[in-house]
Structure 1
């Protein structure tokens, strides 16, 4: 036995000695060094991709240059190599290196200069071929970075080009003609867009946004609130380790200057993504006219003529942080803050006349200051599993706080039978919200299963005071309301080669308890909803697909609509809430066809219907001569519509695109004991013709058509036509872009007209707004990323409170 051990030991020693001998004979490792510079400026070029290949074109290693342009390949065998250098906006360059000389341990190739890429026309053509619209199983996305018009437009303006979205005469965003929807930022709710999305989106440069997603049949993982669906805005993130970002500086007349930026950085396991901006919005003096004519034995005619001027400013900042603890544990956090402030002066003359002449007249000066601030933050922990990469467990928490303060000083002069005293109005509101959520995802074969539970705790408070002669009026408005929601969902998704389906259901239990102190009214509402959804997708060919979806959505009455307090800021037109309002449920079906070859075309058909929809109702009191507007669940509404989006490259340099939406609304309901109906076609379109010159300049002209939009059973807003002309030019290696535009060059003002018809009265509201505007902007793209910032795949989406 000892002899066997001895032989084995001798053999191991021999093998070890042989290995050491062979190791000693291997040549030392080799290194290749160098630096990359700009051929024109002679400056070092950071983040240039350097690829090391064998002489047979096989990749050995690759890296990016440091801030001083240096690179170094170490520990490589002696051989012949090709070094390939790549940087966006520069011509690729290859350097041959002979590293076979045994007398050297490294080769310094010295300074390598890269020449600027001069073929601008080729770059424009590549961008034009990038698909602008993408259809997925449950959503449609519009790529703003593929649309050159985004360099000179804000997000609100670009929304006119997105399928299913339209902008009405008052710049309200409509989704399938519906004003009830949710807006997300990067797939998550944001307090900055829950109260006044129009002003924020108007101040947000479209060049800082990657794409806009439209989800008209949201799956069960989303809260059921929002009759129209969800609009998801994705900020710019270029998936390419390092940093990148965009900076946009713009000026608009008569509004004012604006700024927008995005920034992304990834270093090791830590990543930050941020966006922010701000703008001034100054409106010179404009005029307004309100009229009301009543019928009957004591007919009256009311005119309110005035002028308005205002100035405001707004700003927003959002951040997302990501830390990869290891390959299975991910921690992310979000923080958003926004604020706005505006000052306005309104001067209005009111005359009420009847059969015997003027019965009342006065002149009111209204000086107001409005401010608001929103903060929301969330923390997410995502746990992965080794055996199943598609299996995820996520725990999420979100806090949101919004507060606003509105002050108005109303002074009346030239009084004729007008007895209301001068007053100061102050309205303070505050909304606080906490959300806890758990999501679980598991995949097997071609199936993906999602399930989760969620709880939302929401607190609403308001303090509205009338100060008359230094004393608080008894008609103050104080309320405190709680709304708590418990929910659970389950979704199953199957993805095959030619077709896929996603179906599920969501259960939501709502508890509402509101105490309106001023009116000694208490509202308690508890109700349960089971909301189904299903979406199917068929791939007809490599370039075409068909989508079919059905979903139920609901809208809960907000605390403001439930509040019975009467707003008397305009004594002739009162506004009151209704504590008896109930939730509204909508049924929605949609069919879409998408094809993309040389011509890109998306066609959609949809049908929606609602029973007992909460609509505004206006009634006139012939005794007090006052019109009062409130909300009631009395409307049966149906809508049949179609949407078409076309992008047609007439030639390599000339391109035509259009986005059109048509909806036919039918509304029926009882107002003051009389059945009324309102049938109306809602039409909108946005068309653009663009030409790209060989020099890199691009010019485009556009025409937007906005038709009438219903305001309920009793009225509508009138439509208008607008035009635009813009130019843009890429500068400095295509990282800096100059853009300029004029909108409505032939018309200085536009008149927004809203008509309301009652059983015994007709009202017209006409507001003059600046229509002609001039814009100039500079957009700068900087940096480069190698790896995308990792984010949790599940998180909190509080879409239960809709627009």
Structure 2
């Protein structure tokens, strides 16, 4: 994106001749990266590649973020963080969402390395907020994207639509995806059981998100939203010595919420907001032996107040979360009551943000309360260089997927179960960074005690390895990050994004790194060629194991038509390597295990992206809303 300043030539007369100066165009590149105290902002609309790729592809370029070989997003090298859409949580599967959502519908991505006190104190890495509504023109705007990927993958489609009419605003985004996973072969060897596993699966998923707003008058605003997600995974597995089995996983999620925002009569920037949210998740897992069903209901009420003064902005609020989770083997209720107070102020070239959050948690087994402080500061110098530093304290509460004692026996020699005795974990983080015209580097140190991590044990009498979660040890990570974007020529750009992390996990040490380099060349008449390369080192899988790294490459060509409204894109990923071997090493008391899984690595992609309509204004939304981000789930770290 470029901002063009046109200087109109002046006319003057000398004798009888008239001379006119030529038009002069001065172009300045719109910065892709901005940084504030505890926050990094990546402007998706300023990245020319947004018209030809999905959101997940562009997130590889965002500072502090990386994407692993299985398309899992990592923040500061770990999967424990929270993702919001327009500042709000959603029950939708974000891996599916990011793969199908057109990047051209995203205004910006906000990465909170020091989340303020208004956010729930969950997520060791921080918070990612995806803003979907940009500054648009006219009365409506829409986008449609179709994509395909093979041999592994399949067709996908995503769309968005925004309409603004006087006091009413409406927006929708929806998508669907079909993924075919051809047969993979897994060889498990080591000091315990040697086994061969072959499996293939297919997955269908779809989502829809609706949001509307209505301005009753200049002081009263009502907003509401509804998100629905459906996912079904069917697979067949063959285990040596056991035979064939069929497994099925179903997941349905829904969340709905509403906000009422009242502005002050004399000072309209003073805002009082009342919010309510209800969410429901239904899951079913059939592992060839039995079916386990999980149902989770959650109701949340919240009140927020924003009080700006000439020298400082004060925010405060109270919140209550009421959860009821049930399965065939486990019932779990939880209530969380919270209150927060935060301050933002500036002193000349210094900006400060400080806050304190109190949370009290009640379960059937225990109750506890915690105070979570956060502090961030930034200093802007005369040459627009900027220094940032911050401290935050957060919490990991285990969710129903980690607590559920249901035993998954798809493989009778390697079983998985949850742990209902898991305890929450407090996470501490200190960070500092320096920004030079959109090029930035930073350091981060995060530490936590009694972390809930995957743990495996081996029973020599039954020859069964059991994997679960346990508060088994301490973790510390020292990280260094760098991002830089360059314009090497008038049509050639280069972006680099990388990190190096030193982990101390229990008694072991591990140095990891990730680097993404993307180059693009713009030809005449709308043609564009991109080359992308990613290097990842091995990474920890818990206290007892690691997974190997990778080298990934991607090449693509795109063409803009219809004055930039239509973009066609074709590409190939990893053209030099047909298969990749995912190696997972696990060791424990009296056993060692190596899992070697052969996966399809080379793939071909095609996509079509079409933009239509324009808008002149923004849809008005409440400044604060509910964002429940206080649980950690899943089988990973």
The interval holding the TM-score normalised by the smaller chain is: over 0.9
Alignment partner of 1:582: what SS?
Answer: coil
Residues 488 and 507 of structure 1 are in contact (CA less than 8 Å); yes or no, is this contact kept in structure 2?
Answer: yes
Match of 2:32 in 1: 132
Residues 208 and 248 of structure 1 are in contact (CA less than 8 Å); yes or no, is this contact kept in structure 2?
Answer: no
Cα separation, 2, equivalents of 1:714 and 1:204: 36
Alignment partner of 1:149: what SS?
Answer: helix
Q: 1:736 aligns with which of 560, 566, 579?
A: 566
Match of 1:501 in 2: 352
Q: 2:441 aligns with which of 593, 603, 625?
A: 603
Cα separation, 1, equivalents of 2:490 and 2:299: 52
Q: Using CA pairs below 8 Å that are at least 6 residues apart, which structure has the higher relative contact order?
A: 2
Cα separation, 1, equivalents of 2:378 and 2:619: 29
**What displacement does 1:797 show?**
0.9
Identify which range, 282-291 or 679-688, moves more after superposition. Answer: 282-291
Residue 344 (1) aligns with residue 235 (2) = yes
Cα deviations by residue, 1:562-594 (Å, 9 ceiling, x for unpaired): 344443332212323333321111110100111
Residue 159 (1) aligns with residue 59 (2) = yes
Residues 217 and 551 of structure 1 are in contact (CA less than 8 Å); yes or no, is this contact kept in structure 2?
Answer: yes
Alignment partner of 1:256: what SS?
Answer: coil
**What displacement does 1:146 show?**
2.0
**What displacement does 1:304 show?**
1.7
Q: 1:291 aligns with which of 186, 189, 205?
A: 189
Alignment partner of 2:287: what SS?
Answer: strand
Q: 2:270 aligns with which of 385, 391, 397?
A: 391
Match of 2:144 in 1: 247
Match of 2:116 in 1: 219
Q: 1:780 aligns with which of 603, 607, 610?
A: 610
Residues 287 and 408 of structure 2 are in contact (CA less than 8 Å); yes or no, is this contact kept in structure 1?
Answer: no
Q: In the superposition, relative to structure 1, how do residues 776 and 564 fare at CA in structure 2: closer, same or farther (>3 Å)?
A: closer
Residues 169 and 718 of structure 1 are in contact (CA less than 8 Å); yes or no, is this contact kept in structure 2?
Answer: no
Q: How many residues align?
A: 611
Cα separation, 1, equivalents of 2:247 and 2:599: 19
Superposed, which structure 2 residues align to 1:438-587 within 5 Å?
438-463=303-328, 478-513=329-364, 524-541=365-382, 543-587=384-428
Query: Which runs of 5 or more residues in structure 2 are unaligned?
Result: 7-24
Residues 667 and 678 of structure 1 are in contact (CA less than 8 Å); yes or no, is this contact kept in structure 2?
Answer: yes
Task: Give TM-score, length-normalised by structure 2.
Answer: 0.93
Q: 1:640 aligns with which of 468, 472, 478?
A: 478
Residue 665 (1) aligns with residue 530 (2) = no
**What displacement does 1:659 show?**
0.5
Match of 1:314 in 2: 205
**What displacement does 1:497 show?**
4.1
- Superposition RMSD on alpha carbons, in Å? 2.0
Task: Give TM-score, length-normalised by structure 1.
Answer: 0.74
Cα separation, 2, equivalents of 1:247 and 1:576: 41
Cα separation, 2, equivalents of 1:541 and 1:738: 43
Residues 235 and 275 of structure 1 are in contact (CA less than 8 Å); yes or no, is this contact kept in structure 2?
Answer: no
Alignment partner of 1:561: what SS?
Answer: helix
Alignment partner of 2:416: what SS?
Answer: strand
Is the radius of gyration larger for structure 1 or structure 2? Answer: 1
Alignment partner of 1:207: what SS?
Answer: helix
**What displacement does 1:719 show?**
0.3
Alignment partner of 2:242: what SS?
Answer: strand
Q: In the superposition, relative to structure 1, how do residues 399 and 347 fare at CA in structure 2: closer, same or farther (>3 Å)?
A: same
Residues 120 and 627 of structure 2 are in contact (CA less than 8 Å); yes or no, is this contact kept in structure 1?
Answer: yes
Alignment partner of 1:747: what SS?
Answer: coil
Superposed, which structure 2 residues align to 1:72-151 within 5 Å?
129-151=29-51
Cα separation, 2, equivalents of 1:711 and 1:486: 33
Residue 235 (1) aligns with residue 65 (2) = no
Cα deviations by residue, 1:70-97 (Å, 9 ceiling, x for unpaired): xxxxxxxxxxxxxxxxxx9xx9xxxxxx
Alignment partner of 1:201: what SS?
Answer: helix
Alignment partner of 2:412: what SS?
Answer: coil
Match of 1:303 in 2: 194
Cα separation, 1, equivalents of 2:325 and 2:524: 58
**What displacement does 1:198 show?**
2.2
Identify which range, 178-187 or 390-399, moves more after superposition. Answer: 178-187
Residues 138 and 613 of structure 2 are in contact (CA less than 8 Å); yes or no, is this contact kept in structure 1?
Answer: no
Residue 168 (1) aligns with residue 65 (2) = no
Cα separation, 2, equivalents of 1:733 and 1:171: 33
Cα separation, 2, equivalents of 1:199 and 1:752: 22
**What displacement does 1:257 show?**
1.5
**What displacement does 1:496 show?**
4.0
Cα deviations by residue, 1:392-427 (Å, 9 ceiling, x for unpaired): 100000010111222233xxxxxxxxxxxxxx3212
Residue 402 (1) aligns with residue 293 (2) = no
Residue 752 (1) aligns with residue 582 (2) = yes
Cα separation, 2, equivalents of 1:483 and 1:183: 22
Residues 151 and 739 of structure 1 are in contact (CA less than 8 Å); yes or no, is this contact kept in structure 2?
Answer: no
Query: Which runs of 5 or more residues in structure 1 are unaligned?
Result: 1-87, 92-121, 295-301, 350-361, 410-423, 464-477, 514-523, 669-676
Cα separation, 1, equivalents of 2:308 and 2:59: 35
**What displacement does 1:208 show?**
2.7
Residues 482 and 512 of structure 1 are in contact (CA less than 8 Å); yes or no, is this contact kept in structure 2?
Answer: yes
Alignment partner of 2:290: what SS?
Answer: strand
Cα separation, 2, equivalents of 1:743 and 1:266: 39
Residues 152 and 775 of structure 1 are in contact (CA less than 8 Å); yes or no, is this contact kept in structure 2?
Answer: no
Match of 2:597 in 1: 767
Residues 453 and 488 of structure 1 are in contact (CA less than 8 Å); yes or no, is this contact kept in structure 2?
Answer: yes
Cα separation, 2, equivalents of 1:322 and 1:260: 23
Cα deviations by residue, 1:416-445 (Å, 9 ceiling, x for unpaired): xxxxxxxx3212111111000000110110
Q: In the superposition, relative to structure 1, how do residues 802 and 580 fare at CA in structure 2: closer, same or farther (>3 Å)?
A: closer
Q: In the superposition, relative to structure 1, how do residues 250 and 749 fare at CA in structure 2: closer, same or farther (>3 Å)?
A: same
**What displacement does 1:232 show?**
1.1
Match of 2:296 in 1: 431
**What displacement does 1:730 show?**
1.5
Cα separation, 2, equivalents of 1:154 and 1:759: 44
Alignment partner of 1:713: what SS?
Answer: coil
Alignment partner of 1:150: what SS?
Answer: helix
